[in-house]
Amino acid sequence: MSLTAEELISMLEEKIQYARDLIGRLHIIKIVEGVPKLQRKIQQEMDFLMRLKKSKKVKVEQLSCSNLRHLGAMVDCALRPGVVSVCKIFHINADSKLVIDIISENGKVWTKVIARNPKSLSALSDGNASYGARSILDQAVDYVECAQLYPCMFKPPKVIFEFVSGIEKNLAHRLKSHGIVVSGEILPNSTDYFDECSDSSSAEDSGGNSTNENAGIFSNDIDIGITTLNLDVTAMMAYVSNMTNGYCKYLFKQDVLTQQAAWDDERPVKPILDKLFEGKSLVCCRTAWDNFEKIVQTLGGPMEKKRSMNLKEMLTIYDDDYGGPNDYPRENLKVRGNVRLRSKTVFNFGHRIKALTVSANVGFIRAAMQQGVNYAAFIHESRALTEGKEDNATKIL
């Protein structure tokens, strides 16, 4: 039985109100990366529906093809505990990028939300679709490939495909064989395929072609099973500084040094680094050591120079290119702003050899995250070399 114009308008108004409610529900997590992007997607859908209402030419097909079911499922997932990002873009290569719907557990889990009809998904995966249409199996391959490029603590994220409307048994098994964790009701197999304008087909299938604009994860959990530490210049400076080795009771002429000294009196950095270094292999790249040595020779005092030589005995220094070539994301990290070439060299070296990079350079890490590149790092507070400044400083008794 066909619907009357009044019934279609009523259905349209319900969808518009549903979209408003979705945007409102996201306000409580508005600080989560990507939430404004998701709100804009919902707003665009609502704007389309409102234009449709204004035209008074509503067709039932237009309502059934709305992306709101998929967007609503994404909102439900985004509101779960542990979500750190939504609608995040990752580049697979120069020509292809992938949108990850939901990232959780500090980057360890990627979730794709699928709201399409289960029969349609199976049909598409069996080749019963128009030329060029990408199946859920194609998308699974993309997700697994991308996860390999963007590891979290040197392990690829777990990839979950969450099927809001369920998934047929055979297709679920095929996805699992690709390494995908399948979430959702497992349904009996069906060969009664049919064409449909499915909920969110455009939103769900656009993974490699999104035009949305684009932070990653670093860990300060010492007990993470990593046995090799890559020392950044800032870590070596903090380790050998007089300030961190019992000489923090000074008021320096430079305010920043006085502030750091007060911080180290309250929160000493050296014991943290000593504990971190226990039982670990310490390494650095040639660029890091050469820059550190130059700073010590220029600004360091006698005791700081002696400590730097002791530190060198603890370190293994490798060439910058040790460990093989960089992967695509890190090789193509753009040097700009807080992403300096030296820092890129140091952190890429650590990533290649699967070492935890020890650094105070949180600016670099966050800037790299904004480009979609994550590094495993232990972040400590910054400390400068101060022995050469003590003669002109006021000692606190």
DSSP 255-305: HHHHHHHHHHHHS-SHHHHHHHHTT-EEEEEHHHHHHHHHHHHHH--HHHH
148 backbone dihedrals φ, ψ, rounded to 5°: -65, -30
> pLDDT per residue over 247-275, tens digit each?
999 999 999 999 999 999 999 999 999 99
Q: Domain 228-395 falls in which CATH fold?
A: Rossmann fold (3.40.50)
Question: Strand pairing partners for 97?
Answer: 91
> If you average pLDDT over every residue of the chain, what do you get?
87
- Paired tokens of 138: 């194609």
255 backbone dihedrals φ, ψ, rounded to 5°: -60, -35
Does residue 196 have a pLDDT over 50? no
Cβ neighbours around 122 below 10 Å, total: 25
Does residue 306 have a pLDDT over 50? yes
- CA-CA distance, 119 to 28, in Å (whole number)? 35
Name the residue with tokens 């680094």.
273
> pLDDT per residue over 65-97, tens digit each?
678 899 999 999 999 999 999 999 999 888 889
Report how far apart, in Å, the C-alpha atoms of 326 and of each of 288, 346, 350, 351, 353 are: 17, 12, 11, 9, 10
Percentage of the chain surpassing pLDDT 90?
A: 70
Among candidate residues 182, 104, 93, 193, the one with its CA nearest the CA of residue 146: 93
Domain 80-188: which CATH number of 3.40.1350, 2.40.50, 3.10.50, 1.25.40: 3.40.1350
> pTM for the full model?
0.72
Q: Which 8-state DSSP code applies to residue 99? A: E
| pLDDT given at position 217 | 36
> pLDDT per residue over 105-150, tens digit each?
999 999 999 998 899 898 888 876 555 567 899 999 999 999 999 9
> pLDDT per residue over 271-304, tens digit each?
999 999 999 999 999 999 999 999 999 999 999 9
Does residue 202 have a pLDDT over 50? no
Whether 189 contacts 170, CB under 8 Å? yes
What is the arithmetic mean of pLDDT over 20-31?
94
**Confidence class for position 2, pLDDT limits 50, 70, 90:** confident
Does residue 211 have a pLDDT over 50? no
Helix, strand, or coil here: 368? helix
Q: Which helix (H) or strand (E) holds 13?
A: helix 5-25
**Cα 176–chain centre separation:** 24
